[in-house]
């Protein structure tokens, strides 16, 4: 049986979806295929569980094995080979290939939100505390966002994750205090529904995160704020591929000019009334 491999954080899985043919393959296959989801984000598997072609998927949720091997010191190819060996997947059965230029991934979700022209706001960066916005910064940004003529979806998703020393590194993402007339806090939106919300948005504002990667892949205007001397920015890694686009606003936390950010938002946000909050939101 052929297999596809999605690994690491949600942002890395999103990159695999957009940069390779793996997602296209599982979307079109008519034969059973092993889908290895080895992510430390337990919600990543929702992308495959709710997929329109999931009847052909044998989903192997191996996030625990990924974390065990990572904590044991394995990296890169050694880690990948160990997971495939554990899953009894031969290297020759792995489907690989670079993305075709005309392929745009489509996501399926049971909880899609019907909305367009909104802003995606993601102030939390999961397990990377340094990238998460401080409470003071969140408050400053909300004072700007609550004046926008469009709806804002503030995305959170809490789960428990520990480091190899047992320290909790992903605590609660609680933003309910920032609910406003035009700001809806989405605590439990599935991953594919969130990705669809990115697709239909006007722009993204947030931390260096998985949704920032998705917004760039969907060619959305992105405002991203990050810690000083953030490694991906300094080294211009592949994760920074949209940083120099003309519709990208980026700065480190210390250099942030709120007036400049507000002017940037005015360029990309359409003038539409706030949407009603969807069922189940806060």
Q: If you count them, how many residues does the chain have?
A: 282
Worst-scoring range by mean pLDDT, 35-44, 102-111, 139-148, 154-163? 154-163
**Strand 248-252 vs strand 222-226: parallel, antiparallel, or unpaired?**
parallel
Q: Are residues 127 and 253 in the same domain?
A: yes
Which CATH number do you get for residue 158?
Answer: 3.40.50.2000
Angstrom distance (rounded) from CA 141 to CA 233: 22
Q: Look at residues 174, 154, 141 and name the one whose alpha carbon lies nearest to residue 249.
A: 141
147 shares a domain with 64: no
Is 47 part of any domain? yes
Tell whether 113 is covered by a domain.
no
Residue 277 lies in a domain: no
Give the helix/strand (H/E) hosting 59: strand 57-61
Residue 276: inside a domain, yes or no? Answer: no
Helices assigned H by DSSP within 37-129 = 46-49, 63-71, 76-86
Is there a domain that residue 67 lies in? yes
Helix (H) or strand (E) holding 28: helix 22-28
- Provide the pLDDT confidence category of residue 101 given band limits of 50, 70 and 90: confident
Do the domain assignments include residue 103? Answer: no
* Angstrom distance (rounded) from CA 131 to CA 45: 24
Whether 142 and 86 share a structural domain: no
Query: Span 108-131, mean pLDDT?
Result: 91
Distances (CA, A) of 265 to 99, 149, 196, 262, 276: 32, 11, 21, 5, 21
pLDDT at 157: 80
Whether residues 50 and 133 share a domain: the answer is no
Statement to judge: residues 262 and 123 lie in one domain: yes
Give the up-direction half-sphere exposure of residue 38: CA atoms within 13 A in the CB hemisphere. Answer: 23
Cβ-count burial 169-183 (b if 16+ within 10 Å, e if not): bbeebebeebbbebb
Residue 114 inside a domain? The answer is: no
Average pLDDT, the chain: 91
Task: Find out whether 35 and 26 touch, Cβ atoms under 8 Å.
Answer: yes
pLDDT tier for residue 210 given thresholds of 50, 70 and 90: very high
Q: Are residues 81 and 156 in the same domain?
A: no
Is residue 195 domain-shared with residue 232, that is, in the same domain?
yes
pLDDT-derived band at 279 (thresholds 50, 70, 90) equals very low
> 78, 93, 108: which is the final residue of a domain?
93
**pLDDT tens digits, one per residue of 211-244:** 999 999 999 999 999 999 999 999 999 999 999 9
Residues 84 and 18 occupy one common structural domain: yes
CA distance 72 to 59: 24
Q: Which of 155, 137, 143, 152 is nearest to 183 (CA)?
A: 152
146 shares its domain with 189: yes
- Structural domain that includes position 43: 3-93
The answer as to whether 278 is a domain residue is no
Write down the pLDDT at residue 82: 96
Same domain for 155 and 223: yes
Tokens of 116: 């367009």
DSSP states of 240-259: GTTTTSTTEEEEEGGG--HH
Asked whether residue 273 carries a pLDDT value surpassing 60, the answer given is: no
State residue 97's pLDDT score.
Answer: 82
Per-residue confidence band for 87, with pLDDT thresholds at 50, 70 and 90: very high
Same domain, 173 and 227: yes
Please indicate, yes or no, whether residues 125 and 264 belong to a single structural domain of this protein.
yes
As given in the structure block, the two tokens for residue 139 are 């408050």
How far does CA 105 lie from the centroid of its chain?
14
More confident site: 100 or 110: 110
Q: What is the pLDDT of residues 37-82, one digit of tens each?
A: 999 888 999 999 999 999 999 999 999 999 899 888 999 889 999 9
Please give the tally of structural domains in the chain. 2
């Amino acid at each position: 049986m052929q297999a596809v491999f999605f690994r690491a954080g949600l942002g890395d899985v999103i990159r695999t979806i957009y940069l390779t043919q793996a997602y296209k393959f599982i979307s079109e296959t008519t034969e059973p295929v092993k889908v290895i989801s080895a992510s430390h984000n337990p919600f990543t598997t929702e992308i495959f569980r709710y997929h329109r072609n999931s009847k052909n998927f044998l989903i192997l949720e191996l996030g625990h094995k990924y974390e065990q091997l990572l904590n044991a010191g394995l990296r890169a190819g050694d880690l990948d080979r160990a997971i495939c060996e554990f899953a009894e997947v031969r290297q020759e059965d792995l489907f690989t290939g670079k993305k075709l230029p005309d392929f745009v991934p489509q996501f399926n979700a049971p909880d899609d939100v019907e909305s367009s022209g909104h802003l995606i706001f993601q102030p939390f960066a999961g397990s990377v505390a340094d990238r998460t916005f401080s409470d003071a910064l969140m408050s400053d940004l909300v004072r700007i966002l609550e004046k926008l003529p469009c709806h804002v979806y503030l995305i959170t998703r809490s789960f428990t994750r520990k480091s190899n020393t047992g320290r909790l590194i992903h605590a609660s993402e609680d933003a309910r205090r920032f609910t406003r007339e035009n700001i809806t806090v989405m605590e439990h939106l599935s991953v594919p529904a969130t990705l669809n919300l990115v697709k239909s948005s006007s722009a993204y504002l947030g931390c260096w995160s998985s949704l920032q990667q998705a917004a760039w892949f969907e060619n959305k205007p992105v405002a991203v704020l990050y810690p000083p001397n953030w490694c991906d920015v300094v080294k211009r890694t592949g994760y920074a591929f949209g940083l120099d686009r003309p519709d990208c606003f980026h700065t480190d936390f210390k250099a942030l000019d709120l007036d400049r950010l507000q002017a940037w938002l005015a360029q990309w946000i359409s003038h539409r009334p706030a949407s009603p909050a969807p069922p189940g939101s806060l």
